[in-house]
């Protein structure tokens, strides 16, 4: 199976707690603290590893939170390559309010990325990407990153014969101009590119097909929350529904979707089966508390319900 490399220029240390209630000007007593690796690309690599795929997580590290991030990634036995930068890796703080079932997510700024740091990240892609493999650029761009960072990453991947996948809201137009294999946008993100809100499913399906037809993206995916997802390619469009589960947290669901989808495509699944596999992983992650990712057994169980 081709290796799935992930690139995370703005990683995070995820810290999640639960509180009975959240009110202003009150001392809030929290419990059940959990610490997990964070940042889109790192989560994709974690999910790929859990699903039995070969992966490598490339990400920046800085300060005490960066050191802690390396430890929690190592604890999950996810292969990694770190690029030290100045400053401090960001902390992402998540509170689940038990009274109303609401989730509050606070993301701190990331460490400044210098031109030399950006070059080191891109060199890591060039040094490790292989023909036929995947490079996934995921998450936000940190302060200081060039607007065309993802376009440069796509170029670095393509120079080595790898397929570049983008799951971000930053630098998307520049990446499309460079040309990429796959773009994933959720129900809120696609609107910036489309210029307006589109109706699910027909208008969004046509939009995804038109985006592919313009030539900058080989596969266009829109995940539309509880409605499902659509993937358009030169072969046409495939749409599948979401799986109904008891959800606790949405953190990492999109990353899990991307990971499972790519694992499915890498092992030769049809577009429809790979899309179902992605939706199963997303649903399984939504079943977990806080910032935890899925249990692989739940992914397989949910996936099998789509194959009957």
Q: Where are the domains of the chain?
A: 4-10+40-88+114-305
Question: How far is the C-alpha of 287 from the C-alpha of 153, rounded, in Å?
Answer: 33
CATH superfamily of 4-10+40-88+114-305: Ribokinase (3.40.1190.20)
Backbone angles phi, psi at 184, to 5 degrees: -115, 130
287 has pLDDT over 90: yes
What residues have CB less than 8 Å from 129, skipping those under 6 apart?
Answer: 5, 135, 156, 157, 160, 161, 162
**Active-site residue flag, 255:** yes
149 has pLDDT over 90: yes
Model confidence pLDDT, tens digit, residues 165-211? 999 999 999 999 999 999 999 999 999 999 999 999 999 999 999 99
Q: What is the pLDDT of residue 98?
A: 87
Percent of the chain with pLDDT over 70: 100
pTM, rounded to two decimals: 0.94
Q: Quick one: pLDDT band at residue 247, thresholds 50, 70, 90? A: confident
The verdict on whether omega for the bond into residue 308 sits within 30 degrees of 0, i.e. cis, is no
Spot the catalytic one: 255, 269, 271, 295. 255
Q: What is the DSSP letter of 273?
A: H
């Amino acid at each position: 199976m081709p290796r799935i490399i992930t690139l995370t220029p703005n990683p995070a240390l995820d810290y999640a707690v639960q509180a009975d209630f959240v009110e202003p000007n009150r001392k809030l007593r929290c419990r059940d603290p959990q610490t997990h690796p964070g940042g889109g690309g790192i989560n994709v690599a974690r999910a790929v590893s859990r699903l039995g795929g070969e992966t490598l997580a490339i990400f920046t590290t800085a300060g005490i939170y960066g050191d802690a991030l390396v430890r929690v990634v190592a604890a999950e036995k996810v292969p990694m390559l770190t690029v030290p930068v100045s400053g401090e890796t960001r902390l992402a703080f998540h509170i689940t309010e038990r009274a109303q079932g609401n989730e509050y997510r606070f993301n701190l700024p990331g460490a400044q990325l210098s031109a030399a740091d950006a070059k080191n990240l891109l060199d890591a892609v060039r040094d490790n990407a292989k023909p036929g493999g995947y490079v996934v650029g995921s998450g936000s761009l940190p302060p200081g990153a060039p607007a065309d960072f993802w376009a440069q990453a796509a170029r670095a991947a393509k120079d080595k014969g790898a397929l570049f996948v983008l799951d971000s809201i930053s630098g998307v137009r520049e990446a499309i101009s460079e040309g990429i294999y796959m773009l994933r946008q959720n129900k809120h993100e696609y609107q910036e590119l489309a210029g307006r809100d589109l109706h699910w499913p027909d208008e969004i399906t046509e939009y995804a097909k038109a985006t592919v037809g313009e030539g900058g993206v080989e596969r266009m995916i829109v995940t539309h929350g509880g409605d499902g997802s659509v993937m358009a390619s030169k072969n046409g469009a495939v749409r599948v529904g979401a799986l109904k589960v008891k959800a606790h947290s949405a953190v990492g669901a999109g990353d899990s979707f991307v990971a499972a989808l790519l694992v499915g495509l890498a092992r030769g699944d049809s577009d429809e089966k790979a899309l179902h596999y992605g939706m199963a992983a997303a649903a399984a992650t939504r079943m977990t508390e806080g910032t935890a990712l899925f249990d692989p057994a739940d992914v397989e169980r949910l996936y099998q319900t789509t194959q009957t």
